[in-house]
Structure 1
Amino acid sequence: MKKFKIGELAELAGVSRRTIDYYTNLGLLKPERAESGYRYYTEDCLLLLKLIESMKNQRLTLDEIKGRIGDLTSNLQGVIGKPHGLDLQFLKQQFKLLENQMAELQPLVNNIESGQGVVATRVVLMRSMTLMQSLILYLSEVTPYL
């Protein structure tokens, strides 16, 4: 797995080194330490950083983001111990949840004024993107165990 120094990670993710330091201090990112003391960030950290930035763009607070990442991590830890690593039932449940949310919201979107419909559609899309990004992160974590 490729490892990045903080400057490389910052450039790839489009954030500042200071932001990465801040997230690391909050416990959102967990770098590996080399014998020399340098911090190295894995590709998983890059994916997680992009997920964090996406959630921030959806106006989630860092506490909310930390909670969602914690929930995702808890689900991952439960899945990794399974015989084949990948819990397809978990993925099916997440996709079904997304489908149900979209089905519930569609009539509401159809019955509101066009300007409000655009706003509602954007909110639904942002939530859907968060779920999809979480699933991508989930898959990237469990795939090595297959």
Structure 2
Amino acid sequence: MFRIGELAKAAGISERTIDYYTKLGLITPEKRTLKNYRLYSTETLTTLERINQMKQEKYTLEEIKDRLERWKSVAEDPEVTDKLSQLEIQIQRLEREVNEISPLLEGLKPNQARAALTNILPKGAACIESLQILLSHFTPPM
């Protein structure tokens, strides 16, 4: 369990930020000491790391709160919610990068575009297959 100063140091953010996130409901203390100090769990540290990643991806704090609540409602296991939110961040990053590179690819000569596609295709196919496997676990058979 972390006190607020210890949590701030471990997360690399200020105590004021911890207070602010607590007031917004992004994080919650696990319990309080007899002297009324807030104590935070290691899962809170993981949540702070997730918040930082989403902020770097330009999510607003309201969007971050919505996503955290959505993932918490999906699974109680912090490891599962962490992996799912990481996947969501990576998918959004990939979408943004595809949108950025599309105009550049259109300007390539046909043999250059073919070479670029040849380099990307195996990894892209593996990624698509991985997503299909993941989705098959949650999609009822038809």
TM-score range, shorter chain: 0.5 to 0.7
CA RMSD of aligned residues (A): 3.4
Aligned match of 2:49 = 50
Q: TM-score, normalised by structure 2?
A: 0.56
Local SS of the residue matching 2:75: helix
Local SS of the residue matching 1:35: coil
Stretches of 4+ aligned residues off by more than 6 angstroms: none
Equivalenced residues, count: 97
- Measured after TM superposition, the shift of residue 38 of structure 1 is 0.8
Higher relative contact order (CA 8 A, sep 6+): 1
Q: Please list the CA deviations of residues 55-113 of structure 1 after superposition, one character each: whole Å capped at 9, or x if unmatched.
A: 11111100000011011101014xx6xxxxx7xxxx7xx69xx5xx77xx499487256
Q: How does 1:1-146 map to 2 (within 5 A)?
A: 3-31=1-29, 32-77=31-76, 105=98, 108=102, 111-112=105-106
**Cα distance between partner residues in 1 of 2:74 and 2:14:** 30
Question: Structure 2 stretches of 5 or more lacking a match?
Answer: 109-142
Measured at CA, do residues 108 and 15 of structure 1 come closer, stay the same or move farther in structure 2, by a change above 3 Å? same
Amino acid across the alignment from 1:48: T
Radius of gyration: which is bigger? 2
Provide the identity percentage: 40
Measured at CA, do residues 108 and 70 of structure 1 come closer, stay the same or move farther in structure 2, by a change above 3 Å? same
Q: TM-score, normalised by structure 1?
A: 0.54
Question: Structure 1 stretches of 5 or more lacking a match?
Answer: 81-85, 115-146
